[in-house]
Amino acid sequence: MRISILLIFLSVYGVLQAQPSEAEIKKQITNEGTKSVKFTKTTGTRQWNSDIGNWEWVRGVEIIRKSDYPGIDLVVLGDVVYQYTGAGKYSYWKFRTISNQYLGIPNPTAAEIKNLLSKDWPKFYGYYFHKIIKEYSEPDLANDPKWFWHTPNSVEFKMKLKFDHIISYTEVETVEAIWNVRLYRDDPKGEWKNFIANRSQEASDSKISGVQKYTAEQVRDLEKQTLAFTLSEQKAKKDADALAKSVTVPAFTNPEEMVRFIHNILRNGTANQFRAVMLQVLAPGFFIEGSKVQLQPVQEQNLANVITAAYNNKATYKIMYCEKPPLQVENWGNSATRKTIRITGAVNNCNSYFIVDRMAVGYVEGVAQTKLVIIEYGIYVRQDQDAINFVNSFSDRKKLCPND
Protein backbone atom coordinates (compact mmCIF):
# COMPACT_ATOMS: atom_id res chain seq x y z
CA MET A 1 0.00 0.00 0.00
CA ARG A 2 2.85 2.36 0.82
CA ILE A 3 4.49 1.58 -2.52
CA SER A 4 1.29 2.37 -4.40
CA ILE A 5 0.93 5.74 -2.69
CA LEU A 6 4.54 6.55 -3.36
CA LEU A 7 4.20 5.78 -7.06
CA ILE A 8 1.14 7.97 -7.38
CA PHE A 9 2.89 10.82 -5.56
CA LEU A 10 5.92 10.55 -7.77
CA SER A 11 3.76 10.54 -10.88
CA VAL A 12 1.91 13.68 -9.87
CA TYR A 13 5.12 15.35 -8.77
CA GLY A 14 6.65 14.57 -12.15
CA VAL A 15 3.78 16.26 -13.99
CA LEU A 16 3.97 19.32 -11.76
CA GLN A 17 7.66 19.60 -12.32
CA ALA A 18 7.16 19.37 -16.09
CA GLN A 19 4.75 22.28 -16.20
CA PRO A 20 6.46 25.40 -17.60
CA SER A 21 7.59 28.02 -15.15
CA GLU A 22 6.32 31.59 -15.25
CA ALA A 23 9.72 32.71 -16.46
CA GLU A 24 9.61 30.24 -19.35
CA ILE A 25 6.07 31.34 -20.28
CA LYS A 26 7.07 35.00 -20.28
CA LYS A 27 10.02 34.16 -22.49
CA GLN A 28 7.76 32.51 -25.08
CA ILE A 29 5.34 35.45 -25.40
CA THR A 30 7.71 38.38 -24.95
CA ASN A 31 8.97 40.28 -27.97
CA GLU A 32 10.41 43.69 -28.72
CA GLY A 33 7.10 45.53 -28.24
CA THR A 34 6.07 43.81 -25.00
CA LYS A 35 5.81 46.12 -22.00
CA SER A 36 4.47 43.75 -19.35
CA VAL A 37 3.06 40.28 -18.78
CA LYS A 38 0.65 39.53 -15.94
CA PHE A 39 -0.84 36.15 -15.10
CA THR A 40 -4.62 36.20 -14.67
CA LYS A 41 -4.64 33.21 -12.29
CA THR A 42 -2.18 31.78 -9.80
CA THR A 43 -1.88 28.51 -11.69
CA GLY A 44 -2.65 26.93 -15.02
CA THR A 45 -5.16 24.28 -16.12
CA ARG A 46 -4.53 20.83 -17.55
CA GLN A 47 -7.27 20.00 -20.08
CA TRP A 48 -8.04 17.56 -22.86
CA ASN A 49 -8.07 18.88 -26.42
CA SER A 50 -10.51 16.61 -28.27
CA ASP A 51 -9.74 18.21 -31.65
CA ILE A 52 -6.19 16.92 -31.69
CA GLY A 53 -6.57 14.15 -29.10
CA ASN A 54 -3.96 15.32 -26.63
CA TRP A 55 -3.56 16.89 -23.21
CA GLU A 56 -2.61 20.53 -23.02
CA TRP A 57 -1.67 22.89 -20.27
CA VAL A 58 -3.12 26.40 -20.38
CA ARG A 59 -2.10 29.52 -18.46
CA GLY A 60 -4.08 32.77 -18.77
CA VAL A 61 -2.15 36.01 -19.23
CA GLU A 62 -2.64 39.72 -19.82
CA ILE A 63 -0.03 41.27 -22.09
CA ILE A 64 0.52 44.99 -22.57
CA ARG A 65 2.48 45.83 -25.69
CA LYS A 66 3.07 48.74 -28.00
CA SER A 67 0.50 49.16 -30.76
CA ASP A 68 0.96 50.52 -34.26
CA TYR A 69 -0.23 53.92 -33.00
CA PRO A 70 2.24 56.17 -31.15
CA GLY A 71 1.38 56.64 -27.49
CA ILE A 72 -1.28 53.92 -27.54
CA ASP A 73 -0.80 50.50 -25.97
CA LEU A 74 -2.57 47.24 -26.76
CA VAL A 75 -3.89 45.00 -23.97
CA VAL A 76 -4.09 41.38 -25.06
CA LEU A 77 -5.96 38.80 -23.00
CA GLY A 78 -5.31 35.19 -23.90
CA ASP A 79 -4.04 31.74 -23.05
CA VAL A 80 -0.53 30.38 -23.40
CA VAL A 81 -1.01 26.79 -24.59
CA TYR A 82 1.44 23.89 -24.13
CA GLN A 83 1.01 20.42 -25.63
CA TYR A 84 1.86 17.23 -23.74
CA THR A 85 4.86 15.50 -25.33
CA GLY A 86 5.08 12.43 -23.09
CA ALA A 87 7.18 11.45 -20.12
CA GLY A 88 5.51 14.16 -18.03
CA LYS A 89 6.73 16.96 -20.28
CA TYR A 90 5.01 19.82 -22.14
CA SER A 91 6.13 21.84 -25.13
CA TYR A 92 5.00 25.37 -26.05
CA TRP A 93 2.39 25.21 -28.82
CA LYS A 94 0.75 28.60 -29.34
CA PHE A 95 -0.80 31.73 -27.86
CA ARG A 96 -4.60 31.77 -28.07
CA THR A 97 -5.94 35.36 -28.17
CA ILE A 98 -9.21 35.99 -26.35
CA SER A 99 -9.53 39.76 -26.74
CA ASN A 100 -7.65 42.94 -27.64
CA GLN A 101 -8.18 46.34 -26.10
CA TYR A 102 -6.36 49.62 -26.65
CA LEU A 103 -5.11 51.85 -23.83
CA GLY A 104 -4.11 55.49 -23.82
CA ILE A 105 -6.89 56.79 -26.08
CA PRO A 106 -9.03 59.63 -24.67
CA ASN A 107 -12.63 58.50 -24.23
CA PRO A 108 -15.23 60.53 -26.14
CA THR A 109 -16.80 63.35 -24.15
CA ALA A 110 -20.47 63.43 -23.17
CA ALA A 111 -20.97 66.26 -25.67
CA GLU A 112 -19.40 64.24 -28.50
CA ILE A 113 -21.58 61.25 -27.67
CA LYS A 114 -24.79 63.30 -27.54
CA ASN A 115 -23.91 65.10 -30.78
CA LEU A 116 -23.61 61.79 -32.63
CA LEU A 117 -26.59 60.02 -31.06
CA SER A 118 -28.91 63.00 -31.55
CA LYS A 119 -28.45 62.70 -35.31
CA ASP A 120 -30.44 59.47 -35.26
CA TRP A 121 -32.49 58.91 -32.11
CA PRO A 122 -34.65 56.24 -33.79
CA LYS A 123 -31.49 54.21 -34.36
CA PHE A 124 -30.37 54.66 -30.75
CA TYR A 125 -33.68 53.65 -29.16
CA GLY A 126 -34.63 51.03 -31.73
CA TYR A 127 -37.86 49.24 -30.82
CA TYR A 128 -38.34 51.46 -27.76
CA PHE A 129 -38.52 54.62 -29.88
CA HIS A 130 -42.18 53.80 -30.51
CA LYS A 131 -42.87 52.68 -26.92
CA ILE A 132 -41.21 55.18 -24.56
CA ILE A 133 -43.68 57.84 -23.40
CA LYS A 134 -41.57 59.50 -20.71
CA GLU A 135 -37.86 59.91 -20.01
CA TYR A 136 -36.76 60.90 -16.51
CA SER A 137 -33.50 62.29 -17.91
CA GLU A 138 -31.47 62.23 -21.10
CA PRO A 139 -29.45 59.09 -21.83
CA ASP A 140 -26.24 59.33 -19.79
CA LEU A 141 -23.07 57.36 -19.23
CA ALA A 142 -23.56 54.44 -16.86
CA ASN A 143 -22.01 54.66 -13.41
CA ASP A 144 -19.42 52.24 -14.77
CA PRO A 145 -19.31 52.81 -18.55
CA LYS A 146 -16.90 49.87 -19.02
CA TRP A 147 -15.01 51.61 -21.82
CA PHE A 148 -13.60 49.10 -24.28
CA TRP A 149 -11.51 50.23 -27.24
CA HIS A 150 -11.77 47.60 -29.96
CA THR A 151 -9.56 49.70 -32.23
CA PRO A 152 -8.39 53.32 -32.13
CA ASN A 153 -11.41 54.04 -34.33
CA SER A 154 -14.03 52.13 -32.36
CA VAL A 155 -15.00 52.26 -28.70
CA GLU A 156 -17.74 50.46 -26.79
CA PHE A 157 -19.35 51.61 -23.54
CA LYS A 158 -22.56 51.54 -21.51
CA MET A 159 -25.23 54.20 -21.01
CA LYS A 160 -28.08 54.33 -18.51
CA LEU A 161 -31.71 55.33 -19.09
CA LYS A 162 -34.82 55.57 -16.94
CA PHE A 163 -38.15 55.71 -18.72
CA ASP A 164 -41.81 54.74 -18.89
CA HIS A 165 -42.77 52.58 -21.85
CA ILE A 166 -45.90 50.88 -23.11
CA ILE A 167 -45.65 47.12 -22.62
CA SER A 168 -49.22 46.08 -23.48
CA TYR A 169 -52.60 47.47 -24.48
CA THR A 170 -53.25 48.37 -20.84
CA GLU A 171 -49.86 48.61 -19.10
CA VAL A 172 -46.97 51.04 -18.80
CA GLU A 173 -43.72 49.99 -17.14
CA THR A 174 -41.16 52.19 -15.39
CA VAL A 175 -37.65 50.81 -15.77
CA GLU A 176 -33.98 51.70 -15.41
CA ALA A 177 -31.98 50.02 -18.15
CA ILE A 178 -28.51 49.85 -19.64
CA TRP A 179 -27.79 50.47 -23.32
CA ASN A 180 -24.73 49.04 -25.06
CA VAL A 181 -23.26 51.62 -27.44
CA ARG A 182 -20.39 51.40 -29.90
CA LEU A 183 -19.00 54.37 -31.82
CA TYR A 184 -17.06 54.38 -35.08
CA ARG A 185 -14.83 56.86 -36.87
CA ASP A 186 -12.47 56.82 -39.84
CA ASP A 187 -9.40 58.27 -38.16
CA PRO A 188 -8.15 58.37 -34.54
CA LYS A 189 -8.10 62.17 -34.74
CA GLY A 190 -11.37 62.47 -36.65
CA GLU A 191 -14.99 62.96 -35.65
CA TRP A 192 -17.26 60.11 -34.68
CA LYS A 193 -19.26 59.11 -37.75
CA ASN A 194 -21.51 56.19 -36.88
CA PHE A 195 -22.80 54.05 -34.03
CA ILE A 196 -24.75 50.97 -33.08
CA ALA A 197 -26.83 50.73 -29.92
CA ASN A 198 -29.10 48.24 -28.22
CA ARG A 199 -30.61 47.54 -24.85
CA SER A 200 -28.56 45.17 -22.73
CA GLN A 201 -30.13 41.74 -22.35
CA GLU A 202 -28.38 41.08 -19.03
CA ALA A 203 -30.97 40.67 -16.27
CA SER A 204 -28.80 42.69 -13.90
CA ASP A 205 -28.91 45.65 -16.31
CA SER A 206 -32.66 46.21 -15.87
CA LYS A 207 -34.47 47.40 -12.77
CA ILE A 208 -38.27 47.60 -12.96
CA SER A 209 -39.69 50.03 -10.41
CA GLY A 210 -43.37 49.84 -11.28
CA VAL A 211 -46.16 48.89 -13.69
CA GLN A 212 -49.12 51.23 -14.15
CA LYS A 213 -52.52 49.97 -15.32
CA TYR A 214 -54.58 51.95 -17.86
CA THR A 215 -57.62 51.39 -20.03
CA ALA A 216 -57.05 50.56 -23.69
CA GLU A 217 -58.41 54.01 -24.61
CA GLN A 218 -55.93 55.71 -22.29
CA VAL A 219 -53.02 53.75 -23.76
CA ARG A 220 -54.08 54.80 -27.26
CA ASP A 221 -53.87 58.40 -26.09
CA LEU A 222 -50.48 57.72 -24.51
CA GLU A 223 -49.21 56.52 -27.89
CA LYS A 224 -49.32 60.19 -28.92
CA GLN A 225 -46.67 60.84 -26.27
CA THR A 226 -44.10 58.34 -27.54
CA LEU A 227 -40.66 59.55 -28.56
CA ALA A 228 -41.47 58.69 -32.17
CA PHE A 229 -44.66 60.76 -32.23
CA THR A 230 -43.24 63.63 -30.17
CA LEU A 231 -40.05 64.09 -32.19
CA SER A 232 -41.90 63.71 -35.49
CA GLU A 233 -44.44 66.28 -34.32
CA GLN A 234 -41.71 68.71 -33.32
CA LYS A 235 -39.96 68.34 -36.67
CA ALA A 236 -43.19 68.60 -38.66
CA LYS A 237 -44.24 71.72 -36.75
CA LYS A 238 -40.83 73.31 -37.25
CA ASP A 239 -40.98 72.55 -40.98
CA ALA A 240 -44.57 73.80 -41.24
CA ASP A 241 -43.72 77.04 -39.43
CA ALA A 242 -40.79 77.61 -41.78
CA LEU A 243 -42.95 76.94 -44.84
CA ALA A 244 -45.71 79.22 -43.55
CA LYS A 245 -43.31 82.16 -43.76
CA SER A 246 -43.18 81.73 -47.53
CA VAL A 247 -46.86 82.48 -48.12
CA THR A 248 -49.79 84.15 -46.37
CA VAL A 249 -53.02 82.18 -46.48
CA PRO A 250 -56.07 84.43 -46.07
CA ALA A 251 -59.30 83.56 -44.27
CA PHE A 252 -61.43 82.47 -47.23
CA THR A 253 -65.06 83.55 -47.38
CA ASN A 254 -66.18 80.93 -49.92
CA PRO A 255 -64.90 77.76 -51.61
CA GLU A 256 -64.37 79.46 -54.98
CA GLU A 257 -62.01 81.97 -53.41
CA MET A 258 -60.00 79.17 -51.83
CA VAL A 259 -59.71 77.17 -55.04
CA ARG A 260 -58.65 80.19 -57.10
CA PHE A 261 -55.97 80.96 -54.50
CA ILE A 262 -54.62 77.40 -54.64
CA HIS A 263 -54.79 77.46 -58.45
CA ASN A 264 -52.64 80.60 -58.49
CA ILE A 265 -50.08 78.97 -56.19
CA LEU A 266 -49.98 75.91 -58.45
CA ARG A 267 -49.30 78.09 -61.49
CA ASN A 268 -47.12 80.87 -60.12
CA GLY A 269 -45.89 79.73 -56.73
CA THR A 270 -43.33 77.21 -55.59
CA ALA A 271 -43.61 73.64 -54.38
CA ASN A 272 -42.87 74.80 -50.81
CA GLN A 273 -45.58 77.45 -50.99
CA PHE A 274 -48.09 74.89 -52.24
CA ARG A 275 -47.22 72.51 -49.42
CA ALA A 276 -47.52 75.35 -46.90
CA VAL A 277 -51.00 76.21 -48.19
CA MET A 278 -52.21 72.61 -48.19
CA LEU A 279 -51.07 72.05 -44.61
CA GLN A 280 -53.30 74.95 -43.62
CA VAL A 281 -56.40 74.11 -45.67
CA LEU A 282 -56.63 70.30 -45.55
CA ALA A 283 -59.32 68.82 -43.30
CA PRO A 284 -58.25 67.19 -39.99
CA GLY A 285 -58.87 63.73 -41.47
CA PHE A 286 -55.78 64.10 -43.67
CA PHE A 287 -53.55 64.23 -40.59
CA ILE A 288 -52.37 61.68 -38.08
CA GLU A 289 -54.75 61.66 -35.13
CA GLY A 290 -53.64 64.21 -32.58
CA SER A 291 -51.55 66.25 -35.03
CA LYS A 292 -52.21 69.31 -37.15
CA VAL A 293 -48.93 69.10 -39.06
CA GLN A 294 -48.18 65.39 -39.62
CA LEU A 295 -50.01 64.01 -42.62
CA GLN A 296 -51.00 60.37 -42.68
CA PRO A 297 -48.40 58.39 -44.66
CA VAL A 298 -50.72 57.81 -47.64
CA GLN A 299 -51.65 61.51 -47.70
CA GLU A 300 -48.01 62.53 -47.42
CA GLN A 301 -47.20 60.37 -50.43
CA ASN A 302 -50.17 61.71 -52.37
CA LEU A 303 -49.09 65.30 -51.72
CA ALA A 304 -45.55 64.47 -52.80
CA ASN A 305 -46.89 62.95 -56.03
CA VAL A 306 -48.97 66.07 -56.71
CA ILE A 307 -45.95 68.32 -56.15
CA THR A 308 -43.89 66.25 -58.57
CA ALA A 309 -46.62 66.36 -61.21
CA ALA A 310 -47.34 70.07 -60.77
CA TYR A 311 -43.81 71.45 -60.46
CA ASN A 312 -41.11 68.92 -61.28
CA ASN A 313 -42.20 66.87 -64.29
CA LYS A 314 -41.94 67.22 -68.07
CA ALA A 315 -45.10 69.27 -68.18
CA THR A 316 -46.01 71.49 -65.25
CA TYR A 317 -49.37 72.66 -63.95
CA LYS A 318 -48.61 76.13 -65.32
CA ILE A 319 -48.24 74.75 -68.83
CA MET A 320 -51.39 72.65 -68.74
CA TYR A 321 -53.74 75.17 -67.09
CA CYS A 322 -54.69 78.70 -68.05
CA GLU A 323 -54.33 81.52 -65.56
CA LYS A 324 -58.07 82.18 -65.53
CA PRO A 325 -59.65 78.81 -66.24
CA PRO A 326 -63.38 78.15 -66.16
CA LEU A 327 -64.59 76.73 -62.83
CA GLN A 328 -67.43 74.27 -62.58
CA VAL A 329 -69.13 74.58 -59.20
CA GLU A 330 -71.39 71.82 -57.96
CA ASN A 331 -73.39 72.01 -54.71
CA TRP A 332 -73.86 68.94 -52.55
CA GLY A 333 -77.56 68.20 -52.08
CA ASN A 334 -79.00 70.04 -49.14
CA SER A 335 -75.61 71.19 -47.85
CA ALA A 336 -75.26 74.95 -47.84
CA THR A 337 -71.47 74.80 -47.47
CA ARG A 338 -70.09 71.76 -49.30
CA LYS A 339 -69.10 72.24 -52.93
CA THR A 340 -67.14 70.40 -55.60
CA ILE A 341 -65.15 72.78 -57.76
CA ARG A 342 -63.55 71.54 -60.97
CA ILE A 343 -60.78 73.38 -62.78
CA THR A 344 -60.76 72.78 -66.53
CA GLY A 345 -57.31 72.38 -68.06
CA ALA A 346 -56.05 73.94 -71.28
CA VAL A 347 -56.10 70.52 -72.96
CA ASN A 348 -58.69 67.77 -72.98
CA ASN A 349 -58.72 65.20 -70.18
CA CYS A 350 -56.68 67.39 -67.88
CA ASN A 351 -58.91 68.59 -65.07
CA SER A 352 -58.46 69.01 -61.33
CA TYR A 353 -61.02 69.16 -58.55
CA PHE A 354 -61.45 70.16 -54.92
CA ILE A 355 -64.28 69.30 -52.54
CA VAL A 356 -64.54 72.09 -49.98
CA ASP A 357 -66.72 72.34 -46.89
CA ARG A 358 -66.97 74.37 -43.72
CA MET A 359 -66.03 72.22 -40.74
CA ALA A 360 -65.64 72.62 -36.99
CA VAL A 361 -61.98 72.88 -36.04
CA GLY A 362 -62.28 73.50 -32.30
CA TYR A 363 -64.01 75.50 -29.60
CA VAL A 364 -63.58 78.90 -27.99
CA GLU A 365 -65.54 79.44 -24.78
CA GLY A 366 -67.73 76.50 -25.74
CA VAL A 367 -68.54 77.95 -29.16
CA ALA A 368 -67.65 75.82 -32.19
CA GLN A 369 -65.10 77.43 -34.49
CA THR A 370 -65.39 76.63 -38.19
CA LYS A 371 -63.38 77.24 -41.31
CA LEU A 372 -63.35 76.20 -44.95
CA VAL A 373 -61.26 73.10 -45.53
CA ILE A 374 -60.54 70.69 -48.36
CA ILE A 375 -62.01 67.26 -47.69
CA GLU A 376 -60.93 65.73 -51.01
CA TYR A 377 -58.82 66.80 -53.96
CA GLY A 378 -57.30 65.58 -57.18
CA ILE A 379 -54.75 67.48 -59.25
CA TYR A 380 -53.91 66.13 -62.68
CA VAL A 381 -51.24 67.23 -65.15
CA ARG A 382 -50.96 65.38 -68.46
CA GLN A 383 -47.41 64.29 -69.22
CA ASP A 384 -47.91 62.64 -72.60
CA GLN A 385 -46.07 64.09 -75.56
CA ASP A 386 -49.26 64.73 -77.54
CA ALA A 387 -50.56 67.08 -74.83
CA ILE A 388 -47.20 68.85 -74.64
CA ASN A 389 -47.07 69.22 -78.44
CA PHE A 390 -50.61 70.61 -78.48
CA VAL A 391 -49.84 73.31 -75.91
CA ASN A 392 -46.54 74.23 -77.55
CA SER A 393 -48.16 74.53 -80.99
CA PHE A 394 -49.70 77.92 -80.15
CA SER A 395 -47.66 80.92 -81.23
CA ASP A 396 -49.58 83.07 -78.76
CA ARG A 397 -50.62 81.69 -75.36
CA LYS A 398 -53.77 83.85 -75.47
CA LYS A 399 -55.04 81.75 -78.33
CA LEU A 400 -54.96 78.78 -75.97
CA CYS A 401 -56.18 80.79 -72.95
CA PRO A 402 -58.36 83.67 -74.26
CA ASN A 403 -59.46 84.74 -70.75
CA ASP A 404 -55.91 85.31 -69.48
Q: How do residues 344-381 score in pLDDT, each as one tens digit?
A: 999 999 999 999 999 988 899 999 889 999 999 999 99
φ, ψ dihedrals at 367, nearest 5°: -100, 130
Total H helices, total E strands in the chain? 12, 16
- In this structure, which long-range contacts are made by residues 260-268, counting pairs with CB atoms below 8 Å and at least 24 apart in sequence? 260/327, 262/354, 263/321, 263/325, 263/343, 266/310, 266/317, 266/318, 266/321, 266/379, 267/317, 267/318, 267/321, 267/323, 268/318
> What is d(CA 165, CA 171) in angstroms, rounded to the nearest whole number?
9
Q: Please report which confidence band the pLDDT of residue 88 belongs to, taking 50, 70 and 90 as the band edges.
A: confident
Domain boundaries, the chain: 22-103, 110-225, 243-399
> What is d(CA 294, CA 279) in angstroms, rounded to the nearest whole number?
9
pLDDT confidence of residue 2: 37
pLDDT confidence of residue 18: 67
Looking at every residue in the chain, the average pLDDT score rounds to 93
Is it the case that residue 254 has pLDDT exceeding 90?
A: yes
Write down the pTM of the prediction: 0.73
CB 171 within 8 A of CB 52: no
Q: Please report which confidence band the pLDDT of residue 112 belongs to, taking 50, 70 and 90 as the band edges.
A: very high
Average confidence (pLDDT) over 39-57? 93
Q: How do residues 180-212 score in pLDDT, each as one tens digit?
A: 999 999 998 899 999 999 999 999 999 999 999
Average confidence (pLDDT) over 156-161? 98
99 compared with 6, residue with greater pLDDT: 99
**Least confident range of 46-50, 67-71, 89-93:** 67-71
